Structure 1
Amino acid sequence: MAIALAGHWFDRDGLRDNVDGTISFIDVLYFTAVTITTVGYGDIVPVTSQARLFDTFIVTPIRLFVWLIFLGTAYTFVFQKTWERIKTHMIANTLQHHYVVCGYGAGGESAVTELIRQGVNPDMIVVIDSDAERINNAIKLGVTTLIGDATHNATLGVACIERASALLVSLGRDDTAALVVLSARQLNSTIPISASVRAAENEALLSQAGATSIINPISLGGHLLARSSTHRGTVDYIRDLAAADGTVALHEREVGDQEVGKALHSLRPGLGVRILRNGEPIGFWEDGAQSIEAGDSIIEIVPLPNPNATGSEK
């Protein structure tokens, strides 16, 4: 607009005012505004070839540029948001037994990657983050994304937390994580919630908020780092158990009817290491593990197929 205003002012002799016959600065300002934003009203018109060429090759592209900005802004604030609401509603209608991941930093990204490695369909993973760049990175994995603040009940509601299978919270602040856990527990009283915590003293806070599993990556990393100095093979095996692409994995399942009454160590093909009975853990060496009861959950080490094996080797 400044370019068009300057051009019209310096070539104001090429304009004619059909009202009073004189061209003032206000007339030039008015003519520039109506010419760029509309087709003009005809009260001030270019009369010389130079003025008409300026309007044709300078003002017209400026007018088109202004309209593109207007349409782009309208699309962003009206059409795009409307479409996002429609798309979110469509996605929400199809979500059932999915995984909700709050926070797509280093921990959240690793968790999503591991879920996909374990065979979870990316369409069944919903990532919530307030950072657009992180959301764009999550989209590359094919997961469903939601830009917003996970501490708000409305955001968790859009993610259909009441129909989700599990909630994974990996945020940069422990107090924010606790607020997310509280909000989620209010909306879904039975959903398993796993939360990452940075400070050991906040583990009790997350537990009171309603988290069922609490992971302290700093503390866990310190334990493994210290143990690796003297027990390298042990640390390698722990990493093998935790990763989906290892040779073995820890597996938790409900006890089968045919397994009731048997000893934990007799189960096959996995290697039973713990029983969860009424929420209490029972080790394989304890008396309670000598007879499995109905309703128990079994934690076992199971072998994973060799990805390099083919045919009958698998």
Structure 2
Amino acid sequence: MAVLPPATLKRKSSLPIWVSISWRVLAVLGLLALAVGVHWLERDGLRDSADGQVSFLDILYFTSISVTTTGYGDIVPVSTSARMFDAFVVTPIRVFVVLLFLGTAYNFVLKRTWDKWRMAVIQRTLSGHIIVAGYGTTGAETVDELIARGTDSGRIVVIDTREENLSRAKECGCIVLQADATRDQILKDVRIESAESMIVCAGRDDTSILITLTARHLASAIPISVIVRNEDNELPARAAGATTVVNPVSFAGLLLAGSCTGPHLSGYLTDLASYHGEVELSERPVLPDEVGKPLAAIRTGLGLRIYRGDAHFDHKAPEAAALKAGDLIVEIVTA
């Protein structure tokens, strides 16, 4: 059995940046003060080759040089205690100070510059991508299904506020952004105006509707699919600009009700919805050689419905007797 790494509780630091930098500076000053104090007490064990006298200024100079470099040799420890202090205390302080400065430079300068550069590179290539706002259970299942259907994981951008969710999304090959998708700037950062579509599954109906409203404000033509769990919120979601509204509770009720009259209906519907089923639903535009033919005559699958403008017609409707250019066909095809 594989041994799992120990789990670690994490949360975002509540300290502002200036406080974080300040305590690092204070830590360095405290270590310098410690070294200065001991060197002053052990000043008889130091020798100054210039004048033979070791003043307090000489102690400050010697300590700062010893902590930041290996020294110049003008002031040297000669007693055993002074040498032991420099070897076992000053040297570790020197290493700690260097690491502290390197860590500060990485966190507040290098890392931010690197992240901004990487983000700019990714943004230049973002076009025709799919944005998934929320990577909980539903969002993860959605991404898995998209990848199974042939969508390149590099074309999927996942936005979530939780680091553990983004780690799972990154393992799938998705582009991730830890942020709040209700903010205009965040959706601009993922270039929503050039995205192919957007899927909203934030886990809360009010949050999902707000994300939908923000997205529609920034991209008037993008298809937006949103999941809501309360039937009363379906209309507000559509009013916010959702192209498709999915209610998993209602859909589960339909499956359960269908299973009472036929035990195989729910299994067949699940096959239709999933890429891994034996059959699946497909939506496509009508082909040029299909124009003028009836919906029943298509050869790619079993035609169920056509969408013509804002209207839809089932396979038995008179309008389905002759397909027109621009029609959308919903059909059942073999997986």
TM over 0.5: yes
Report the Cα offset of residue 44 of structure 1. 9.6
Alpha-carbon distance change, 301 to 8 in structure 1, aligned in 2, over 3 angstroms: same
Equivalent in 86, 89, 93 of residue 58 of structure 1: 89
1:68 aligned onto 2:99: yes
For the residue of structure 1 that corresponds to 2:199, the secondary structure is strand
Per-residue Cα deviation, 1:61-103 (whole angstroms, up to 9, x for no partner): 2331232133123212221121111111111111221111111
**Deviates further, 169-178 or 8-17:** 8-17
Equivalent in 213, 233, 237 of residue 264 of structure 2: 233
**Deviates further, 140-149 or 1-10:** 1-10
Report the Cα offset of residue 303 of structure 1. 0.5
Alignment of 1:28-39 (within 5 A): 34=64, 38-39=68-69
Alignment of 1:1-314 (within 5 A): 13-16=41-44, 18-19=54-55, 34=64, 38-39=68-69, 48-304=79-335
What is the identity percentage for the equivalent residue pairs of Structure 1 and Structure 2?
42
Alpha-carbon distance change, 177 to 12 in structure 1, aligned in 2, over 3 angstroms: same
Report the Cα offset of residue 117 of structure 1. 0.4
For the residue of structure 2 that corresponds to 1:252, the secondary structure is strand
Letter in 1 for 2:328: S
For the residue of structure 2 that corresponds to 1:191, the secondary structure is coil
Q: Give the Cα separation in 1 of the matches to 2:330 and 2:236.
A: 27
Report the Cα offset of residue 52 of structure 1. 2.0
Report the Cα offset of residue 169 of structure 1. 0.8
* Structure 2 portions without partners, runs of 5+: 1-26, 47-53
Query: Is the CA contact 1:15–1:44 (under 8 Å) kept in the aligned structure 2?
Result: no
Alpha-carbon distance change, 85 to 8 in structure 1, aligned in 2, over 3 angstroms: closer
Q: Give the Cα separation in 2 of the matches to 1:117 and 1:83.
A: 33
Q: Give the Cα separation in 2 of the matches to 1:212 and 1:152.
A: 20
Query: Is the CA contact 2:303–2:332 (under 8 Å) kept in the aligned structure 1?
Result: yes
For the residue of structure 2 that corresponds to 1:82, the secondary structure is helix
Per-residue Cα deviation, 1:181-211 (whole angstroms, up to 9, x for no partner): 1221122111100111121111111100100
Query: Is the CA contact 2:228–2:247 (under 8 Å) kept in the aligned structure 1?
Result: yes
Alpha-carbon distance change, 158 to 108 in structure 1, aligned in 2, over 3 angstroms: same
Report the Cα offset of residue 47 of structure 1. 5.1
Query: Is the CA contact 2:67–2:93 (under 8 Å) kept in the aligned structure 1?
Result: no
Alpha-carbon distance change, 43 to 132 in structure 1, aligned in 2, over 3 angstroms: farther
Query: Is the CA contact 1:181–1:210 (under 8 Å) kept in the aligned structure 2?
Result: yes
Alpha-carbon distance change, 20 to 289 in structure 1, aligned in 2, over 3 angstroms: closer
Query: Is the CA contact 1:14–1:46 (under 8 Å) kept in the aligned structure 2?
Result: no
Letter in 1 for 2:138: G
* Structure 1 portions without partners, runs of 5+: 22-26, 305-314
Alpha-carbon distance change, 221 to 48 in structure 1, aligned in 2, over 3 angstroms: farther
Alpha-carbon distance change, 209 to 36 in structure 1, aligned in 2, over 3 angstroms: farther
For the residue of structure 1 that corresponds to 2:210, the secondary structure is helix
Letter in 2 for 1:264: L
For the residue of structure 2 that corresponds to 1:301, the secondary structure is strand
Q: TM-score scaled by structure 2?
A: 0.79
How many residues are aligned here? 297
Alpha-carbon distance change, 45 to 132 in structure 1, aligned in 2, over 3 angstroms: farther
For the residue of structure 2 that corresponds to 1:109, the secondary structure is helix
Q: Give the Cα separation in 2 of the matches to 1:66 and 1:225.
A: 65
Report the Cα offset of residue 261 of structure 1. 2.3
